[in-house]
Amino acid sequence: MNSRTQTGPAHKAPADSRVTLAHIMSEHDTNLYGTVHGGVVMKLVDDAAAAAAGRHSNGPAVTVSVDSMAFLRPVRAGQLLTVHAALDRAGRTSMGIAVRVTAEPWNTSGRVIDVATAHLTFVAIDSAGSPRAVPALRDGDPSADEAGRAAT
Ligand SMILES: CC(C)(COP(=O)(O)OP(=O)(O)OC[C@H]1O[C@@H](n2cnc3c(N)ncnc32)[C@H](O)[C@@H]1OP(=O)(O)O)[C@@H](O)C(=O)NCCC(=O)NCCS
C-alpha cells in the first residue's frame, strides 16, 4: 500500500505501461479519396493510449483531452499500422500519453514510415467515475524522454 494509490507501486517507469497496437488497414478503413480515414487512425490512437493509461494507473482511465493530433502522411489499404503509446507525464489523477503511429507494407519487408503523432490526457477514475490518484512517473528514466520525442 502507499499514499498515492490503494494498490500497486507509488512510482512507475514509462516502460511499465508502454503499449504497441498493430492493425492491417483494409478497403473498409478508407475514405472517398482512397486513403485511410483519419477517424480510424484516431480510434486506434485512443485505444493504445487508453491501454497505456490503464496499465500505469492499475485500472480504468478515460480520455479527457486530445491535446494534439497530427497526420504526417496518408495511410493506404494494405499497410500495417502500428501505434506506439507511452506515458510522458503523471499528475495527481491525470496522465499524459505520447503516441507515435508508423506504417509499413503488411506482407513484405518494407520501409517503416511515421504517419501520425498525438498527445492525449487521460484521468484515472474509480467505480463512481470520480478521479483517483495514480502512481508518479519515475524521474530520470530515459524512456520518458523517448516517449516525449514520440509526440513531437
Ligand atoms: C475525467 C473526469 C472524471 C474528470 O472530472 P473533473 O471533475 O474534471 O476532475 P478534476 O477537475 O478533479 O480534474 C482531474 C484531473 O483532470 C485534469 N483535467 C480535467 N480536465 C482536463 C482537460 N480538459 N484537459 C487536461 N486535463 C484535464 C485536471 O487537471 C486534473 O489533473 P490532476 O489530478 O493530475 O491535477 C470528467 O471530466 C469526465 O468524466 N469526463 C468525461 C470522460 C469521457 O467520457 N471520456 C470519453 C470516453 S473514455
Checking DSSP bridges between strand 11-12 and strand 136-137, what pairing results, if any? parallel
Residue 24: what pLDDT?
Answer: 98
Written as nine digits, the cell of 144 is 520518458
Superfamily of domain 11-150: Hotdog Thioesterase (3.10.129.10)
- Tell me, what amino acid is at 92? R
pTM for the whole structure:
0.91
Give mean pLDDT in consecutive 10-residue pieces for the chain, a chain of 152 residues.
Answer: 55 93 97 95 98 97 98 97 97 98 94 97 98 89 51 44
Q: What is the pLDDT at residue 76?
A: 96
3-class DSSP string for 77-138: CCEEEEEEEEEEEECCCEEEEEEEEEEEECCCCCCCEEEEEEEEEEEEECCCCCECCCCEEC
Q: Is the beta carbon of 66 within 6 A of some atom in ligand 1?
A: no
- The Cα diameter of the chain in Å comes to 53
Closest-CA residue, ligand 1 atom 10, reads 131
Our answer on whether the CB atom of 30 is closer than 6 Å to any ligand 1 atom is: no
Q: Please report, for the chain, the start and end positions of each structural domain, with discontinuous segments joined by +.
A: 11-150
pLDDT value at residue 56: 97
Q: What pLDDT sits at residue 128?
A: 98
Give the pLDDT score at 9. 75
Ligand 1 neighbourhood includes 57 CB (under 6 angstroms) = no
